[in-house]
Amino acid sequence: MELGMIGLGRMGTNMVRRLIRAGHQCVVYDIHPEAAQALAKEGAVATTSLEQFAHRLKKPRAAWMMVPAAAVDPTLKALAPLLERDDVIIDGGNSYYHDDIRRNAELKATGIHYVDVGTRAAGSGARSEAIA
């Protein structure tokens, strides 16, 4: 499986590490290029822009965002035009659910799927788990 990860803070980085260890391919992007370059040394494909990120993912693309709630809308505004029908955007942060309902409705018209998957750090943040 291939997954793109946007946002390489503690949780995003550790999720990518676990995915790589499990044999998955990861394309990564962060506003701090050094974070992506560090994961490239562990087997990820580092990108330096959202344009490059979208281009490097195989279609249909799956882009997981691990960005702060305040950064979700600006990230979506920049990312969505780079994607196509049947691509998937996953918001792994803890956004307010009314915002996620609105985002889903906005993206539905483009054929891009939006999935809200709140996550939490387990213990010291060394492992991240999806919560239902």
Give the CATH number of the domain where residue 46 resides.
3.40.50.720
Q: What is the pLDDT of residues 4-25, one digit of tens each?
A: 999 999 999 999 999 999 999 9
Regarding pTM above 0.85, the answer is: yes
Q: How confident is the model at residue 132 (pLDDT cuts 50, 70, 90)?
A: very low
Domain, as residue range, for 15: 2-130
Task: Give me the number of domains the chain comprises.
Answer: 1
Helices 97-108 and 69-79, packing angle to 10 deg: 10
Q: What is the pLDDT of residues 47-76, one digit of tens each?
A: 999 999 999 999 999 999 999 999 999 999
DSSP assignment of the chain, as one string? Answer: -EEEEE--SHHHHHHHHHHHHTT-EEEEE-SSHHHHHHHHTTT-EE-SSHHHHHHHSPSSPEEEE---HHHHHHHHHHHGGG--TT-EEEE-S---HHHHHHHHHHHHTTT-EEEE--EEEETTTTEEEE--
